[in-house]
Amino acid sequence: MTAGLELRDLVRDIPDFPKPGILFRDLTPLMRDPAGWQEVIRRLSGLCERLQPDLIVGIESRGFIVGTALATSVRLGFVPVRKPGKLPGPVTGVDYALEYGTDRLEIQSDAFDGGARVLVVDDLLATGGTAAACAQLVTAAGGSLCGFAFVAELAGLGGRARLPEPHPVESLIVYG
């Protein structure tokens, strides 16, 4: 890491957002800091060296920011996972439970021709529901999950426990 650069120092805490009692961890100051953002991508690139994915999958929407930057840096392709109705052509989808209700994620059905090794990337791991659903989606679409990468993790929400084992989970900043 660059001398004196602590990624956590570039994350802004916003109390009572989006509702009272929530402490929101705003990663946008980190993203707009060139040295900080380069450090994020450098560290995640090291994970790619260890796991050897064929493709990077990013979860809508901030996972697109992290995932495309990482994919470009390590010279891999990028595959978006989106909310329903946003992708052209045939799609594979998975429904998953939320705290109140359900949601759905979709991927283009031909994204993993040949059983590609896939690293799932997002900005934040919280409760883990979306990332776990993405893992199911990767498998349903014919990909081979090789791990997860997050810029930040809210460990107190237990999201890591919802992700399928034995796949590695890397979070650059962990909040208790």
d(CA 106, CA 115): 17
User: What pLDDT does 46 receive?
Assistant: 98
* Structural domain includes residue 58: yes
Give the pairing type, strands 55-59 and 91-98: unpaired
* Structural domain includes residue 66: yes
* Structural domain includes residue 169: yes
Q: What is the DSSP string of 75-134?
A: T-EEEEEB-TT-S-S-EEEEEEEETTEEEEEEEETTTTTT--EEEEEEEEESSSHHHHHH
pTM above 0.85, yes or no: yes
Residue ranges of the chain whose pLDDT lies below 70:
1-4
* Structural domain includes residue 16: no
User: What pLDDT does 35 receive?
Assistant: 97
* Structural domain includes residue 3: no
User: What pLDDT does 1 receive?
Assistant: 45
User: What pLDDT does 144 receive?
Assistant: 97
Q: What is the DSSP string of 29-55?
A: HHHH-HHHHHHHHHHHHHHHHHH--SE
Q: How far is CA 135 from CA 42, 58, 128, 164, in A?
A: 24, 11, 11, 8
List, for residues 23-49, the tens digit of each pLDDT value. 999 999 999 999 999 999 999 999 999
Residue type, position 120, single letter: V
Number of domains in the chain: 1
* Structural domain includes residue 85: yes
User: What pLDDT does 4 receive?
Assistant: 59
* Structural domain includes residue 43: no
* CATH number of the domain bearing residue 64: 3.40.50.2020
Active site residues: 62, 99
Per the structure, the complete domain to which residue 64 belongs is given by 52-175
Residue 118 CA, chain-centre distance (Å), reads 12
List, in order, residues 6 or more apart from 23 with CB less than 8 Å away: 13, 14, 15
* Structural domain includes residue 142: yes
